[in-house]
Amino acid sequence: MEKLELRAEVVAPGDLLARDISNGTYTYLDGGEVKASVFGLKDIKKDSVSVIPLAGKYMPKAGDMVIGVITMVDRNGWEISINSPYPVFLQRDRDMDPILNPRRLYKEGDIVSVKIKSVNEMKKCYAEGPRKLRGGRILMINAKKIPRVIGNRKSMLGILREKSECRVVVGQNGVIWLDGPERNVQMVVDAILQIERESHTKGLTDRISSVLDKKMKVIKEEENGRKK
């Protein structure tokens, strides 16, 4: 395997990042020194320094779109497991018919995408805007690598969707829902796993793009061959 170029310096917890600068995410202040609090990549900006983590669980944040599985239903609503230490609760609409069985809407095992409405200091989360995802395929990856799957201004996600002709829904919690022809979906799965593996390297978008082009060419050729 050829050696890939790192996109930033790898740091471990406790590593000194800089002095007398404001501390960004995943860092802490020790006297005037900014130190890394997680294992990840150093990210220096003009006025602050932060760390891009390479591992860790998803932490719910208000406004995030996540995909999860309904794990519990009661008369107040639904509990959704989102691959995180904290589940989210989807409350039943107040003007919903009280006699209606909530399982008629969503039952245990259903896959839904929701937006996180609020998170309190005990990390209890409430969701809004549910959407049921029917069929398709679910892929779970490291949540901290989702920004790379989406890419700068959705560049990577755009490439994945366009080239593979699949429907791709990405949850901030590391759960990805895919739907389309079986071989195309498999191609996207392989591409996403490659992104997860190589998220710390440079020039990833171009590499993924060329891999997808090559695979699509094979798929197209075979389809044409069958028609003839």
Partner 1 sequence: MGGKSSTPLIVKGKRLDGRKPEELRPIKIEAGVLNRADGSCYVEWGKNKVIAAVYGPRELHPKHLQDNTQAVLRCRYNMAPFSVDDRKRPGPDRRSVEISKVIREALERVVFLNYFPTSAIDVFMEVLQADAGTRCAALTAASVALADAGVPMRDLVAGCAAGKVDGTVVLDLMQEEDNYGEGDLPLGYIPSKDEIVLLQMDGDFTKDEFKTALNYAIKGAKKIYALQKEALKRKYTTNKETAKWI
Q: Which is nearer to partner 1, 142 or 186 (CB)?
A: 142
Q: Shortest approach of partner 1 to residue 71 CB, angstroms?
A: 11
Residue whose C-alpha is closest to residue 154's, from 175, 144, 169: 169
Smallest distance, partner 1 to C-beta of residue 2, A: 8
Q: Which is nearer to partner 1, 173 or 184 (CB)?
A: 173
CA contacts within 13 A on the Cβ side of 18: 16
Give me the half-sphere count of Cα atoms (radius 13 Å) on the Cβ side of residue 218. Answer: 8
Closer to partner 1 by CB, 144 or 163: give it: 144
Least Cβ distance, residue 72 to partner 1 (angstroms): 12
Select 6 or 100, whichever has its Cβ closest to partner 1: 6
What is the C-alpha separation between 195 and 212, in angstroms, rounded? 12
* Residue 73 tokens, joined: 């239903």
Contact 166, 185 (CB under 8 A): yes
In whole angstroms, how close is the CB of 143 to partner 1 at the nearest point? 10
User: Does an H or E element contain 147, and which?
Assistant: helix 146-150
Residue 169 or 192 with smaller CB distance to partner 1: 192
Compute the least distance from the CB of residue 52 to partner 1, in Å: 11
Binding site for partner 1 (CB under 8 A): 1, 3-4, 6, 10, 12-16, 26, 28, 30, 35, 37-40, 53-57, 59, 85-87, 121-123, 144, 200
- Nearest 5°: the CA angle 175, 92, 127 is 35
